Chain A
């Protein structure tokens, strides 16, 4: 057989890679084998462009039970329990078919969590879209509606609370939205399940939906740019079946309570191929299957199609020989048919048969360990020469009050109520901070503890300064869980970038990874897993480099959760941290002055760490009535948001500074606005002083107006109700149906 250039191109393989395949096999591959290599060596599955750099991330820590390499990471949360979590992207499918793309993304990450033996208890999502108005506004609104409905459609149905997330709207995402979904589960720390095959002769089971022709080469699609021909690749999108997954979830958790299971992995990207060779590779074993036993939805499917299908809601399990009846009984109870499709072998080979005839025979090592690794060239992008400067003098003067209302109405800053009311935020009665009030917080039943989760990532900062942008993303996500009173104990990350074959993109990627690694080390937050999504481009235009960081934090006493809202008249407002007058990359510059310019805010990791420590201690001491960090929109937005959802409670604030714009809208990092009872003010200020954290009383809670003076001059004086109206309705206005 000769494999020509077009066949290779169709499989996304280079001639060099083809030669590697021949070397690994010591012969030419069959078509089925070529298909298998093509998906396993796709960027999506092999991490060939990113692997070298991901090694720089710190992945160990005293609480880490499982780092990268399994279906999800796990950290110890005490009481013999583990928090299991991971983030995953479904960007490309969500652009093509927003509802199903987002829904199946949710389905995929949930499977990664319960395959670890964890009961999924919370979902988060980080979304990026283009502007809701302007030339692509109508299309973007449709995408937003579809994505939000799809996330809700899947999560609500399967019954896992969606407890938070974040959404930003920026031009570069118009042709390539981002849909990143995080799932958190709780497992018995001593009973984490691995995706491992071992024990020669142990049976291999397939369970879940039947295999169809859908999604063939989905992994390859996620490894290529979009262009006007992408429409042809469309059938790669699948329809999610949350009901099937609910059955799988319950049946698998029930099976995991027995000791009949050796290992399990879901069939996500690259389907049966990936699960078969990865499980074998992890266990140092081989797996032999016969595709004739694979349940099929369509007739006449070839081994090639069966191995590459990405039909959703399927799992591969290895169980102990002799326990088959018990396993089958559990799946039968849930109306799932478990099909015995093969056995574990000792030869380290993935062997695929079709009615007994061998159609593929590949050493696991060749597929997994010997996959190509590229050290792609990098080059600092030229845009950085001019984008990082701002000509402040050229900015038109704007009334601060109007600027605040403008920024509050920016969809990125505005309340996301329109979105999160479409999600079941409470199912399983663990959510102990209502949606929109803080990082997502779930209690851990049967303990006193709670877990806070936050996701963050500012694409503008990363565009202007990728290294610092990634550091800021980690710092902000950690700060957000800290504001809930939690200690950050682990992080996951989803690295969304353009085409890594372009040196400028690769440079952004490497800078971000290195920045992230440095921040993780400094703040002592290990990375336990993640995902890389490259080729986020349409017609040669890349998205902003967008690392999304999810941080998980632990609260020892669930009764001490802190939220963002001011609570009581007369409470003292204290600013922890200090402003450095940084407007670069700010929401204010973008919204009010239509500029994405300047350098990202500076970040001193030692100061950040001290700030977080003081806040954690103050929360544990019970001093904090509220806590909210300063991010998009600066302290003006922070203060406004502290007043919102309180029934109109206001505040009177005095800030330092000479320029109101800078004092109000600077996005200097490492700042938290807290409110405390007057009797706790001294305690807090002394604790901060002892830790070397700048802290200052900036005002008091009370009245029904938000009044801010800057350098003694009145800058903003607005009724909370008026500002809140702007903030709450800004997003839904775009989605109001036209009256008949």
Chain B
């Protein structure tokens, strides 16, 4: 299968996503420059981390107007798997593919370290190989990962089981102390109504090789390979 890694000006985890999908997972992967308008026949799309347009104005606010975004929206509408990592998640929020918005981290500081998330839902193309309740040790690296949604949206997310990852402690408990950025309900990642678009703040692509400190991120990327082999790709 083939991953498209969209490159916005200022993306800086584009190579990480490419390396993980191509060299670790052994799948096909291609960069797609944001000024292009086609996804080059990709089976899954990754919006990588970084600081698109410097994150000036608001994270993701300018990137969502990129020429490639209509193609991403259309791909998502037809059910294609789309993963937004960190800045990619922020872009999905700004683009309206996922609900809510990002605020600055509660303590106003950028934070980079390994944290733990709990897999809440396994019926998305990015978590189908995981166990419900499985704990993943993943790095975070962001200054604005404090997820916000109003009470109505939160109710909908809960009712529709769309919170995919929550920050938790080593025992799997969702506690305030385990929340690195102040996100409402410890939300680390969510999906859309159709469940094919997933955004999360932690970086699974940085946790795919032992020497980097964790391989827990692999399950997300392997899941989408499984999902596509079962269900076939959307073109």
> Could you list which residues of chain A lie within 8 angstroms of chain B, going by C-beta atoms?
149, 152-153, 156-159, 241-244, 246-247, 333-335, 420-429, 431-432, 434, 443, 445, 558-559, 561, 737
Closest to B19 in A: A429
Residue contact A426 to B9, C-beta cutoff 8 Å: no
Chain B contact residues: over half helix, strand or loop, or mixed?
mixed
Give the CA-CA distance A403 to B181 in the complex, in Å: 36
- Determine the interface band of chain B, counting residues with CB < 8 A from chain A: 35 or more
Give the CA-CA distance A149 to B110 in the complex, in Å: 8
Give the CA-CA distance A488 to B206 in the complex, in Å: 28
Give the CA-CA distance A565 to B28 in the complex, in Å: 38
B55 at the interface (CB under 8 A from A): yes
Taking CB atoms, residues of chain A closer than 8 Å to B161 are none
What are 19 A-B residue pairs whose CB atoms fall within 8 Å in the complex? A156-B143, A157-B10, A159-B51, A242-B54, A243-B9, A243-B53, A246-B12, A333-B33, A334-B9, A424-B141, A426-B212, A427-B13, A427-B16, A428-B16, A429-B15, A429-B20, A429-B205, A429-B209, A429-B212
Extra inter-chain contacts (4) besides given A247-B10, A429-B205, CB under 8 Å:
A152-B110, A157-B10, A421-B111, A422-B109
Residue contact B112 to A426, C-beta cutoff 8 Å: yes
Taking CB atoms, residues of chain B closer than 8 Å to A558 are 211
Closest to B11 in A: A159
Residue contact A243 to B16, C-beta cutoff 8 Å: no
Residue contact B211 to A157, C-beta cutoff 8 Å: no
A324 → chain B, closest Cβ, in Å?
A: 22
Per-residue interface assignment for chain B, residues 12 to 36, with 1 indicating a CB less than 8 Å from any chain A CB and 0 otherwise: 1101100110000000000001010
Residue contact B12 to A159, C-beta cutoff 8 Å: yes
Give the CA-CA distance A420 to B9 in the complex, in Å: 26
Name which of B9, B114, B209 has the most chain A CB atoms within 10 A of its CB: B9
B88 → chain A, closest Cβ, in Å?
A: 14
Residue contact B20 to A157, C-beta cutoff 8 Å: no
Residue contact B112 to A157, C-beta cutoff 8 Å: no
A76 → chain B, closest Cβ, in Å?
A: 24
Closest to A429 in B: B16
Residue contact B206 to A422, C-beta cutoff 8 Å: no
Residue contact A423 to B112, C-beta cutoff 8 Å: yes
B196 → chain A, closest Cβ, in Å?
A: 26
Residue contact A157 to B54, C-beta cutoff 8 Å: yes
Selected contact of B211 from candidates A241, A333, A432, CB within 8 Å = A432
Give the CA-CA distance A159 to B203 in the complex, in Å: 14
Taking CB atoms, residues of chain B closer than 8 Å to A426 are 112, 139, 141, 203, 206, 212
Taking CB atoms, residues of chain A closer than 8 Å to B231 are none
B213 at the interface (CB under 8 A from A): yes
Taking CB atoms, residues of chain B closer than 8 Å to A423 are 110, 112
Give the CA-CA distance A156 to B143 in the complex, in Å: 10
Taking CB atoms, residues of chain A closer than 8 Å to B209 are 429
B125 at the interface (CB under 8 A from A): no
Taking CB atoms, residues of chain A closer than 8 Å to B35 are 333
Residue contact B212 to A243, C-beta cutoff 8 Å: no
Residue contact A242 to B51, C-beta cutoff 8 Å: yes
Taking CB atoms, residues of chain A closer than 8 Å to B110 are 149, 152-153, 156, 422-424
Residue contact A335 to B9, C-beta cutoff 8 Å: yes
B177 → chain A, closest Cβ, in Å?
A: 15
B84 → chain A, closest Cβ, in Å?
A: 17
Taking CB atoms, residues of chain A closer than 8 Å to B51 are 156-159, 242-243, 246
Taking CB atoms, residues of chain B closer than 8 Å to A561 are 211
Give the CA-CA distance A333 to B51 in the complex, in Å: 18
Residue contact B211 to A443, C-beta cutoff 8 Å: yes
A435 → chain B, closest Cβ, in Å?
A: 8
B50 at the interface (CB under 8 A from A): yes
Give the CA-CA distance A314 to B101 in the complex, in Å: 35
Taking CB atoms, residues of chain B closer than 8 Å to A152 are 110
A159 → chain B, closest Cβ, in Å?
A: 2
Name which of A149, A424, A561 has the most chain B CB atoms within 10 A of its CB: A424
Closest to A153 in B: B110
Give the CA-CA distance A445 to B15 in the complex, in Å: 12
Residue contact A432 to B112, C-beta cutoff 8 Å: no
Closest to A242 in B: B54
Interface residues of B in 209-223 (CB under 8 A from A): 209, 211-213
A299 → chain B, closest Cβ, in Å?
A: 24
B158 at the interface (CB under 8 A from A): no
Give the CA-CA distance A242 to B55 in the complex, in Å: 10
Interface residues of B in 35-90 (CB under 8 A from A): 35, 49-51, 53-56
Residue contact A159 to B211, C-beta cutoff 8 Å: no
Give the CA-CA distance A558 to B56 in the complex, in Å: 38
| 3 smallest beta-carbon distances between A and B, as pairs | A159-B12, A243-B54, A157-B51
Taking CB atoms, residues of chain A closer than 8 Å to B53 are 243
Give the CA-CA distance A89 to B48 in the complex, in Å: 33
Residue contact A425 to B54, C-beta cutoff 8 Å: no
Residue contact B12 to A427, C-beta cutoff 8 Å: yes
B113 at the interface (CB under 8 A from A): yes
Give the CA-CA distance A244 to B20 in the complex, in Å: 27
Taking CB atoms, residues of chain A closer than 8 Å to B212 are 426, 429, 431-432
